Copies of this chain bind each other. A is one copy, B any other.
Amino acid sequence: MDGKAARPARPRWERRAYETEFGRIVAFSDGVFAIGITLLVLNLEVPDVPDADLAQALWQDWPHLFAYALSFAVVGRFWLVHHSFFSTLTGFDATLMTSNLVYLGLIVLVPFSSDVLGEYGNTAVAVVIYAGTLGAAGLLNWLMIRYALRSDLIITERLPDTQPFGQASALIIPGVFVLSIPVAILVSPLVAELVWFGAFAAVRGVRRRGRP
């Protein structure tokens, strides 16, 4: 609580007293991230063609490679933010643990969404699924950070590191994904995919103010 006003007692567990338990949550999360990001490679299928056609067959598979690179970058960034956020936690409670599980459930969906995008990249449906998964993950992440800030779960001297991720401006990243959904439906899937690159620029801006 670090010298702040008392709150009605909800069960919470201080990191200091539950170091092993805290470590397990982090290790489990890291495991899910590592496996999720690695399963992305299973979307790259080796074509079954005559030797002479291999180069062309692989070349035609570029949407899968593009989806792989994009998803790896996005999940990698999510991991960096998760990593940074959890490093500033002074404790955790049941709400945060359950939210984290749901969040990881969305991260694990990324290899599927990414495969749909690689297979059907020129359809609005695929773009909606992909942007929906990542937008929801980003939004939940933002809500988790807000919740931790409001519940005094952040180490006081690390507040400047985590606060930028909980501000309205940090919503720009999931916002771009959510925004791209109507764009994909009303304009074109390709335009929506171009919008995503705006998200990366935004991430870069926010991250610059944050910590590792």
Contacts and interface: CB of A to CB of B under 8 A. Distances in A.
A83 B129 contact: no
A13 B211 contact: yes
State the oligomeric state as a number of copies: 4
Contact of A41 (B39, B73, B97, B119): B39
Contact of A18 (B28, B73, B87): B87
A112 interface: yes
Of A26, A34, A73, which is in contact with the most chain B CB atoms at under 10 Å from its CB? A34
A46 B125 contact: no
A120 interface: yes
What interface size band does chain A fall in? 35 or more
A182 to B, nearest CB: 16
A94 to B, nearest CB: 7
A179 interface: no
Interface stretch (A1-9, A50-58, A143-151, A167-175): A50-58
A20 B13 CA distance: 18
Nearest to A32: B34
Contact of A87 (B21, B30, B72, B79): B21
Contacts of A13: 211-212
A159 interface: no
- Top 6 A-B pairs, shortest CB-CB distance: A31-B34, A35-B38, A44-B112, A76-B101, A55-B125, A21-B87
13 contacts: A13-B212, A24-B30, A24-B83, A28-B34, A28-B83, A42-B42, A44-B112, A51-B122, A54-B125, A58-B125, A58-B129, A69-B105, A72-B108
